[in-house]
Structure 1
Amino acid sequence: MNSVTKSFVGLIVSLLANEGLLELNKKASFYIPELEGTGLGEGTVQQLLDMQVPVKYMEVDTPMGIGRGTPIFIASGSIPKPDNYNGPENLYEFMISSKKDELPGTVFKYENGQSETLGWIVKRLTGKNLAELIQEFIWSKLGVEENALMHLDNIGTDIASGGMRATLRDLARFGEMMRNNGYYNGQQIIPEHMIRGIQKGGNQKYFAESTHHYLTGFSYHNKWWVSHDPYGGYSARGKFDQRIHIAPKADTVIVKLSSYHSPDSEGIDAFQAIIEYLIKQ
């Protein structure tokens, strides 16, 4: 599901914080000493959740045409190494290679390493991988039809930035749980205050100044895209137009799995049109 995975990671981190197992204002290097002095290690857990830790990575000359994010795809084994490659061989090495850029907490800069860092933190704290934690905290309580799976890197690490696999119907169950403020299948799965926190959104100024400024009025918070529209909409979004869109004030959840030829599409406008049509009925 590509980056739809990130929203699940955000929930797991928030659930662990809610249980007192981690502090959101601590730097990543507090939990992962190996990241001391690196770009990713300088950010706090909350800044990582909000994509506010700008970093730099090695440049890779590749004919693959993947574009943005290519170094992490190579390090994770998702695409072949180019000739004469001499970079990170797995996700942990990739994170350790990060260099400082702008000051954390001053910009919105969407990139994959921040989510991988959160995956490393929860693994270090719990001794469990993301697949186990998603199953324990969420999937086992939804009454799903199929297991959720995770794509792994070269050494068996769950890919937190885009490795989850699930069916459309089960994702709709998950979306309905979110729409109902964390309540589904006769139980409170996610604390309501956590859902309300997501709905409030993040820093709209930082977002408007970023490369995602074309999403007018949006913000990003706890790994969710918040549209600040009249319907309280927020989404888990994945490359090539995969979406879980939740519109609480319209009593609507839309799930879309796809693999378009370009990273973004007209999906947001289509979802809004569907919601407005349903409201009029």
Structure 2
Amino acid sequence: MTRRPAAAAAFTVRYLARKMIAPRRPASLAEIGLFTGAPQHENLMRIDELAPVRRMPASTSPAPWPAGPPISLPASYAFEGSTKSTEQFLADTDTAALLVLVDGQLRFERYLLTGGPAVNWLSMSVAKSFISALVGIAMDDGHIADIDRAISDYVPVEPGSAYDGVSIRNVLQMSSGARWNEDYHDPASDVHRLTQAMMGRRGGLDGFVARMATESAPGTVCRYNSGETQILGALIAHAVGRSVSEYMTDKLVEPLGFESPSFWVTDLLGTEMSYAGLNLTARDFARLGELYRNNGMWQGRQIVSAEWVRVSTTINSPIREPGRPIVGDHGIDLGYGYQWWIPAGDKGDFSAIGVLNQLVYVNPARATTIVKLSANRRYGTSSSEETNRDLENVEFLRAIAESIE
């Protein structure tokens, strides 16, 4: 029986309410001016006013960070042979939050623009590292038998499409062989088309990745691809039988003592935007970094296996060595693990990184985790380091870690 329009609208509102999703149309990138040079700090702190979301409560046992002796930031840092001003860099990249933990103690915390200790900020691709952790936890829980199994054993995809028969491991390593263009300054690129799928047409986000095409043999090219993380989110949901938000609430939010309520952006069908849609405070973003710095252990409890942390933050193939991963139309001088970036130089550090300069940087040798949340308005206006400043952000955070005594 076909519903009349009014009845259909009422049904949609009831459905979204049951799913804890705000019944609003996702804002398009064009509407908020993303990758156009327009300021973004007013948008990144109010995403739940712009798009449907699925909310997560704070932990029932919140764990505020203990305060340690305050530190000062170095006044300058070195990048590509030049000495750069810290204050100028913070301003130029529209920094909203900078938080430094050393040995689990809060040693530095500063907010600018629209940032604040209780402000949820859009993760962009920092979400990818959270999804990777949830895949590892699902492995530990026995929901996923083996990451060398095909992801299509768990997630429905079209026969012959990019993820049909491709191993979960290859997807984790951005090496599925799927055809993809992650150019942020190209409005016709695949990453923009994936975002447009949030309108819910043709199966929404999950429908989009289920139809993607193959370009190369799996395991032969490391091509950064937000679609890989979206299907990993689908893997979690299908393997566990719960939404990404519900599983994250139980497996990360609750045991790690998240202090603030948070949320995931969803498409209009209620599917989490797994590749970029997590919204947390800086203090709660830091919890994943600290968990990984401590090899998956949190206050005496193993949240995710130490082996998963090790392989996730290790480069195991020449195609993932710094300089080899392809982002859009160019290589980048960072290596890749399981949805974590590994800087060049073999210093043992690693980072979750999102566009507009979101980072959760971990330096185990210095016992340091740093969160930088930003709204770099120039990001994506070209594909160059000059505007995007991905490598410079890593070197800046490295300099902070190395300055701590």
- The change in CA–CA distance for 1:147 and 1:203 in structure 2 (over 3 A counts) is farther
What letter corresponds to residue 12 of structure 1 in structure 2? L
How many Å apart are 1:64 and its aligned residue? 8.6
- The change in CA–CA distance for 1:96 and 1:180 in structure 2 (over 3 A counts) is closer
How many Å apart are 1:224 and its aligned residue? 0.7
Query: How many pairs does the alignment contain?
Result: 266
Match of 1:258? 374
Aligned: 1:76 with 2:191: no
Match of 1:19? 141
What is the CA–CA distance in structure 2 between the aligned matches of 1:147 and 1:229, rounded to whole Å? 37
TM-score by length of 1: 0.86
Instruction: Work out the percentage of aligned pairs sharing the same amino acid.
Output: 26
Aligned: 1:47 with 2:170: yes
Match of 1:241? 357
What letter corresponds to residue 401 of structure 2 in structure 1? I
Deviates more, 1:223-232 or 1:46-55: 223-232
What is the CA–CA distance in structure 1 between the aligned matches of 2:247 and 2:302, rounded to whole Å? 17
Q: Quick one: which of 245, 250, 254 aligns to 1:136?
A: 250
What is the CA–CA distance in structure 2 between the aligned matches of 1:196 and 1:89, rounded to whole Å? 35
Q: CA deviation digits over 1:95-138, x for unaligned, max 9?
A: 12211110111110111111111111221122111111111111
Match of 2:338? 222
Q: Quick one: which of 164, 167, 178 aligns to 2:278?
A: 164
Match of 2:306? 192
What is the CA–CA distance in structure 2 between the aligned matches of 1:226 and 1:67, rounded to whole Å? 25
Kept after mapping to 2: 8 A contact 1:29/1:36: no
Match of 2:132? 10
What letter corresponds to residue 376 of structure 2 in structure 1? Y
More strand by share: 2
- The change in CA–CA distance for 1:240 and 1:12 in structure 2 (over 3 A counts) is same
**Higher RCO, Cα 8 Å, sep 6+:** 2
TM-score by length of 2: 0.61
What is the CA–CA distance in structure 2 between the aligned matches of 1:198 and 1:186, rounded to whole Å? 21
Kept after mapping to 2: 8 A contact 1:27/1:42: yes
Match of 2:56? none
The SS at the match of 1:236 is strand
Match of 1:271? 397
What is the CA–CA distance in structure 2 between the aligned matches of 1:3 and 1:177, rounded to whole Å? 18
Structure 2 stretches lacking a partner, 5+ long = 1-122, 381-387
Kept after mapping to 2: 8 A contact 1:36/1:42: no
The alignment's C-alpha RMSD in Å is 2.4
Q: Quick one: which of 308, 314, 326 aligns to 1:211?
A: 326
How many Å apart are 1:230 and its aligned residue? 4.8
Structure 1 stretches lacking a partner, 5+ long = 79-86
